[in-house]
Amino acid sequence: MTLCPPDLFAIRIIVENRKGVLRDISTVVARHEANVLMVHQEIFDAGPFKGMAELYLEYENGVDHDGMIAELCELPTVKDVKPYEPFSYIYGTRVIIIGGGAQVAQVALGAVNEADRHNIRGERISVDTIPLVGEKTVAQAVDAVSRLPRAAILVLAGSLMGGEISAAVDRVREAGIPVIALRMAGSVPDHADLIVTDPIQAGVFAVMHVSGTAVFDIRRVKGREF
């Protein structure tokens, strides 16, 4: 199942936006032997924390978590610290769908329905979509998939893809993320792990691959067309 391990933790820290804040926070975290796995930072431009920053950390292991939070609260730049469930437990593994609007919608239909079947049994699989136009725009989005937290598989849904997109597909696969492509014109199908004609089925295959309970494994049918 796509659940976070028991030694994975998350905290949200509201801090002043100034130099040295990350250094001070990382010093406290390291002192408590916590290994940071993910960091997200954002500056508030509205609301009660306007002009301040949010730091979201996911970390593993560590000793005396309550003591670490208490020590973080004592830092002069820190305004608030709260523990949360990690995103891997809330949103889980991510299926990414990129391409043309109509095709993306159909792939998402299959993926969402299949994810619901698994999530109702305790898994956590989320589906992310973005319809895009243009070779360069799509290639940039594909390249970014390997940098997305918890992205486990990519589905390319369109009628024509090639050139820079094919090169981006190769880089995503080198990063360990498998790629499913719809049957389409262009060179992208030659670079994908699996080619699927029916967009709904492509979404189903994607979710089945990332599921911890399904028996489908894209590596066993790699290079085939359906």
Domain ranges of the chain: 8-87, 91-220
| This model's pTM is above 0.85 | no
191: left (phi over 0), alpha (psi -120 to 50) or beta: alpha
Q: Which of 174, 121, 128, 181 is nearest to 151 (CA)?
A: 128
**b/e string for 146-182 if b means 16 or more Cβ within 10 A?**
beeebbbbbbbbbeebbebbbebbeebbeeebbbbbb
Please give the distance of CA 119 from its chain centroid, rounded to a whole number. Answer: 17
Residue 117, both tokens: 């079947």
- Considering Cα of 105, then 110, then 115, then 117, what sign does the dihedral take? positive
CATH architecture of 8-87: 2-Layer Sandwich (3.30)
Q: Please check whether the two domains, 8-87 and 91-220, share a CATH topology.
A: no
d(CA 14, CA 18): 12
CATH topology classification for 91-220: Rossmann fold (3.40.50)
Residue 104, both tokens: 């993306």
Each residue's pLDDT tens digit in the chain (226 positions)? Answer: 344 455 789 999 999 999 999 999 999 999 999 999 999 999 988 888 888 999 999 999 888 899 999 999 999 999 999 999 998 888 899 999 999 989 999 999 999 999 999 999 989 999 999 999 999 999 999 999 999 989 999 999 999 999 999 999 999 999 999 999 999 999 999 999 999 999 999 999 999 999 988 777 777 777 677 8
